[in-house]
Amino acid sequence: MSLNPLGAWELPEELRMLQENVARFMKTDVKRVDDQLPHDAISAPKHLLEPLQAKAKEMGLWSLKSPQEYGGAGLSTLAVCVVTEEAAKCRMGAYVPACGAFGADPPVVIFNGTRDQIERYAIPAIKHAHRTFFAVSEPSGGSDPARAIRTRAEKRGDRYILNGSKFWISHAEGAEWGIVFARTGALGDRGGISCFIVDKTMKGITTKVIPVIRALAPYEVTFTDVEVPAENMLGEEGKGFSVANALLVAQRMPYAAGTIGIAQAALEIAIDWAKNRETFGSRLADKQAIQWMIADSEMELRAARLLTYAAAWKADLGHDAKIDASIAKVMATETAGRVLDRCIQILGGMGVTHEMPLERWYRELRIKRIGEGPSEVHRMVVARHLLGAGPRKPKADA
């Protein structure tokens, strides 16, 4: 057997083609829309969005992560990463890729639901780009849900009664439906969590906006005696997390890829600026301090991208990519934050005006180190893997 070293460290040809296509779509069609919107816009108006969505559908890029059989694009995790990286390169790209051209994926855990749940909820959501939400976190915390979840679901006949509240829930306002994790067992027991689909027809759900550093604000969602039919339970009672785990791991790679795309776009802006801006008799690009910022940014972004691709590739092969996903998530989001900081420094005052997308991206990237699991939790995951230790259990006789 001969070892062929060629072709091992590059994307397959079809993914490169897809990448070029999306890059071009962003630079032409999406840019035309993006240029007309205010700095902090979180959606494009219907008359601008619909033509974009029609083009995206023709490209076969609609609901990227959702399976083809339900009307999605059915992309592999690696392909989603490639598309998401490019699609992030617009003002609202950190949270609304390509200004919303590719529709919206419902929370992926729905695809572990029953045929009936998928038909009633997932398929219409994909078709009409419905707003949907995914609610785990509570005022008591989000990173350690087994401990923190207090929202209760009491079984009463053929339904469950939900009481409690969820925090930091994006897209909750105006959502058609959402996924809610609630406690059906004892407090503190990971096995006591179940997963439910709630929809807007159910009474007792209220939302309240939580203003934050980014324009797309999350919500507090409160459940007061919300009656959820038993057939809306996703998975089995007490096994709420088992429907979520592998699917949630695979979310982290595209999350990472989006931040890399934004940082790369920021770096392009900074490079362009450095080549044109003159101070003290020469271009910024001729000054070593600036050159190093640019070189470091490129080096770090390439490293983060390869880690993200590697994690996605591993997940696509069906291997456990949990550690790889954590590594990629931390590396990409922290790198992107650093790169944005440098880019703003290169642009100086211009970097923080609303003329440029940089300051918006800077704010949004700050959240990316917290959302989808904060850096520290992912570091903990990696450390536990290396050290072979879980959380220390209290002694039974203590």
Partner 1 sequence: MKILVAVKRVVDKDIKIRVKPDQSGVDLANVKMSMNPFDEIAVEEALRLREKGQATEVIAVSIGPAQAAETIRTALAMGADRGILVKSDTALEPLAVAKILKAIVDQEQPGLVILGKQAIDDDSNQTGQMLAALTGWPQGTFASKLTLEGSDVVVTREVDGGLQTVKLRGPAIVTTDLRLNEPRYASLPNIMKAKKKPIDEKTPDAYGVDVTPRLEVLKTIEPSSRQAGIKVGSVTELVGKLKEAGVI
CB of 248 to partner 1, least distance (A): 25
Taking the least distance from each CB to partner 1, the nearer of 17 and 306 is: 17
Taking the least distance from each CB to partner 1, the nearer of 14 and 35 is: 14
Rg of the chain over Cα atoms, rounded to whole angstroms, equals 22
CB of 29 to partner 1, least distance (A): 9
* Residue 27 sits in the site that holds partner 1 (CB under 8 A): yes
Binding part of the chain for partner 1, among 14-22, 151-159, 229-237, 329-337 by CB under 8 A, reads 14-22
CB of 354 to partner 1, least distance (A): 25
Rounded Cα distance between 46 and 376, Å, is: 40
CB of 17 to partner 1, least distance (A): 5
* Residue 35 sits in the site that holds partner 1 (CB under 8 A): no
Helix axes 245-276, 77-87, angle to 10 degrees: 30
Contact between 330 and 368 under an 8 Å Cβ cutoff? The reply is no
DSSP 319: -
Taking the least distance from each CB to partner 1, the nearer of 21 and 242 is: 21
* Residue 17 sits in the site that holds partner 1 (CB under 8 A): yes
Residues 6+ apart with CB under 8 A from 266: 339, 340, 343, 357, 358, 361
Task: Kindly state the tokens that stand for 350.
Answer: 């211009």
DSSP 138: B
Rounded Cα distance between 206 and 263, Å, is: 36
Taking the least distance from each CB to partner 1, the nearer of 61 and 88 is: 61
* Residue 58 sits in the site that holds partner 1 (CB under 8 A): yes
Give the rounded distance of the alpha carbon of 213 from its chain centre. Answer: 17
State yes or no: is 69 an active-site residue. no
Active-site choice (86, 138, 364, 372): 372
Of the residues 55, 152, 190, 287, which one makes contact with partner 1 according to CB under 8 A: 55
Of the residues 48, 59, 129, 217, which one makes contact with partner 1 according to CB under 8 A: 59
Footprint on residues 73-102 left by partner 1 (CB under 8 A): 73, 75
* Residue 25 sits in the site that holds partner 1 (CB under 8 A): yes
Contact between 346 and 274 under an 8 Å Cβ cutoff? The reply is yes
Give the rounded distance of the alpha carbon of 270 from its chain centre. Answer: 25
Strands (E), 43-140: 132-135
Residue type at 155 in one-letter notation? K
* Residue 147 sits in the site that holds partner 1 (CB under 8 A): no
* Site size with partner 1, rule: CB under 8 A: 16
Taking the least distance from each CB to partner 1, the nearer of 65 and 329 is: 65
DSSP 180-243: EEEESS-TT-GGGEEEEEEETTSTTEEEEE---SSSS--EEEEEEEEEEEGGGEESSTTBTTTT
Taking the least distance from each CB to partner 1, the nearer of 17 and 352 is: 17
Taking the least distance from each CB to partner 1, the nearer of 58 and 158 is: 58
* Residue 54 sits in the site that holds partner 1 (CB under 8 A): no
**147: number of Cβ within 10 Å:** 13
* Residue 158 sits in the site that holds partner 1 (CB under 8 A): no
Cα–Cα nearest to 302, from 85, 84, 25, 12:
85
Binding part of the chain for partner 1, among 24-32, 192-200, 279-287, 296-304 by CB under 8 A, reads 24-32
Contact between 123 and 117 under an 8 Å Cβ cutoff? The reply is no
Of the residues 24, 302, 319, 385, which one makes contact with partner 1 according to CB under 8 A: 24
* Residue 161 sits in the site that holds partner 1 (CB under 8 A): no
Of the residues 13, 35, 158, 397, which one makes contact with partner 1 according to CB under 8 A: 13
Rounded Cα distance between 49 and 64, Å, is: 17
User: Which amino acids are annotated catalytic?
Assistant: 372
Q: Which residues bind partner 1 (CB under 8 A)?
A: 13-14, 17-18, 20-21, 24-25, 27, 55, 58-61, 73, 75
